[in-house]
């Protein structure tokens, strides 16, 4: 009797220890995932949106995390549970040897397909939801060329209808200035290869494809300075293809355009000689300047 009791106690102790290990592994897995995501705890690593059209993307992001969390916990749970549940319990016992299990094979084929289809559906839906309905009041043409940007502000009132531009190089990142709470049409052109216009705080990016005119409109909602970059690998100095986005009040925006006009940056940067050597390779060769790496 006492022998049986002692065996029973040992079994319960083993189960408790096993449950403790499962709990610790689960907590470790969740903590690891959060750490990997660079998570702030609030937006799960997503930048705080700076335009009027970021909500659908933020919801998709959150939904993806919830789905990944459920699938992850279920999968890790099975991985930990199966070897514990079906472990060898004594020296002279061989656990049941299973060759195949049709229902389980169907399950792990069909379940991932359903997950992918659900992600696909929500991604398409989000993509159509984030197109703003407001009419743009400004148009900025973004010209990409290895490895920098030129921004042309088309037909602005502040410059009496003249277009003005600013241009950068790999050594000096250009600034794109946009007025807060006003809708801007962004027209994307490439002079050479495919680039991608990306402002992480807008939770949006779009490609610049040579020979094709892509565009989208956006309404910045928070004044501030934001990072912008090329997110399509476009050659040697792709990592230097950066720009600064400044979202400012309307007066500052108008003053900036007038400064560009006064500096003689009048016309359209597209095809202008200044953009032909935008990459600044000659400066690079004679310079020890490190530049900003992404």
* 142 is a site residue for Cu ion (CB under 5 A): no
Exposure string for 104-127, b = 16+ CB within 10 A, e = fewer:
eeeeeeeeeeeeeeeeeebeeebe
Minimum Å gap between C-beta 230 and Cu ion is 3
| 189: contact with Cu ion by CB under 5 A | no
Q: How far is the CB of 231 from Cu ion (least distance, A)?
A: 8
Task: Classify 153 as helix, strand or coil.
Answer: strand
Is the C-alpha dihedral spanning 248, 251, 254, 260 positive or negative? negative
Would you count residue 229 as binding Cu ion (CB under 5 A)?
Answer: no
Q: Which stretch binds Cu ion (CB under 5 A): 30-38, 156-164, 215-223, 237-245?
A: 237-245
Residue 143 engages Cu ion in binding (rule: CB under 5 A): no
Segment near Cu ion (CB under 5 A), from 87-95, 111-119, 236-244, 283-291?
Answer: 236-244
Say whether 149 sits in a helix, a strand or coil: strand
Region binding Cu ion by CB under 5 A among candidate stretches 82-90, 102-110, 195-203, 210-218? 195-203
- CB within 8 Å of 229: residues ≥ 6 apart: 198, 200, 241, 242, 243, 294
Least CB distance to Cu ion at residue 241 (A): 4
The correct pick among 201, 234, 269, 278 for binding Cu ion (CB under 5 A) is 234
* Residue 46 within binding range of Cu ion, rule CB under 5 A: no
Q: How far is the CB of 294 from Cu ion (least distance, A)?
A: 11
Q: Is residue 150 at the binding interface for Cu ion, with CB under 5 A as the rule?
A: no
Q: 148, 196, 197, 192: which is closest to 173 by C-alpha?
A: 148
Shortest distance, position 40 Cβ to Cu ion, whole Å: 28
Q: Does 269 bind Cu ion (CB under 5 A)?
A: no
Residue 130 CB burial class (10 angstroms; 0-12, 13-18, ≥19) = buried
User: Rounded CA gap, 63 and 47, in Å?
Assistant: 16
Nearest residue (CB) to Cu ion, 55 versus 270: 270
Judged by CB under 5 A, the residue of 218, 230, 245, 247 near Cu ion is 230
| Residue with the two structure tokens 């690998």 | 233
Instruction: Kindly state whether residue 208 participates in binding Cu ion, applying the rule CB under 5 A.
Output: no
Q: What are the backbone dihedrals phi and psi of residue 24, each rounded to the nearest 5 degrees, phi first? A: -65, -40
Q: Shortest approach of Cu ion to residue 238 CB, angstroms?
A: 5
What are the structure tokens assigned to 244, written together?
Answer: 């600064």
Residue 217 is given by DSSP the state E
Print the binding letters for residues 102-141 with Cu ion: x by CB under 5 A, - otherwise: ----------------------------------------
203 part of the interface to Cu ion, by CB under 5 A = no
CB 249 within 8 A of CB 179: yes
Neighbours of 141 (CB within 10 A): 21
State how far the alpha carbon of 106 is from the alpha carbons of 31, 34, 102, 240, in Å. 32, 31, 6, 48
Report the residue from 177, 241, 247, 257 that binds Cu ion according to the rule CB under 5 A: 241
Contact between 195 and Cu ion per CB under 5 A: yes
Interface residues with Cu ion (CB under 5 A) are 195, 230, 234, 241
């Amino acid at each position: 009797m006492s022998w049986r009791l002692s065996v029973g106690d040992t079994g319960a102790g083993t189960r408790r220890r096993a449950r403790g290990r499962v709990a610790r592994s689960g907590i470790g897995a969740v903590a690891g995932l959060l750490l990997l995501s660079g998570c702030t705890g609030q937006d799960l690593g997503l930048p705080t949106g700076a335009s009027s059209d970021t909500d659908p993307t933020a919801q998709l992001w959150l939904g993806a995390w919830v789905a990944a969390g459920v699938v992850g916990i279920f999968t890790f749970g099975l991985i930990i549970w199966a070897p514990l549940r079906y472990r060898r319990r004594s020296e002279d016992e061989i656990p049941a040897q299973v060759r195949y299990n049709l229902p389980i094979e169907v399950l792990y084929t069909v379940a991932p397909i359903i997950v992918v289809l659900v992600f696909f559906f929500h991604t398409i839906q989000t993509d159509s939801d984030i197109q703003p309905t407001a009419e743009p009041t400004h148009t900025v043409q973004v010209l990409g060329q290895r490895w920098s940007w030129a921004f042309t502000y088309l037909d602005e009132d502040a410059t009496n209808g003249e277009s003005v531009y600013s241009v950068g190089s790999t050594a000096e990142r250009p600034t794109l200035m946009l007025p807060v709470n006003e809708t801007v049409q962004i027209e994307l052109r490439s002079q050479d290869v495919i680039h991608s216009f990306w402002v992480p705080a807008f939770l949006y990016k779009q490609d610049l494809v040579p020979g094709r005119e892509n565009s989208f409109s956006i309404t910045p909602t928070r004044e501030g300075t934001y990072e912008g970059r090329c997110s399509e690998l476009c050659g040697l100095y792709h990592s230097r293809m950066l720009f600064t986005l400044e979202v400012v009040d309307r007066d500052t925006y108008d003053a900036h355009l007038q400064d560009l006009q006064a500096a003689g940056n009048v016309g359209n940067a597209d095809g202008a000689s200044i953009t032909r050597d935008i990459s600044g390779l000659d400066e690079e060769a004679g310079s020890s300047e490190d530049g900003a790496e992404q």
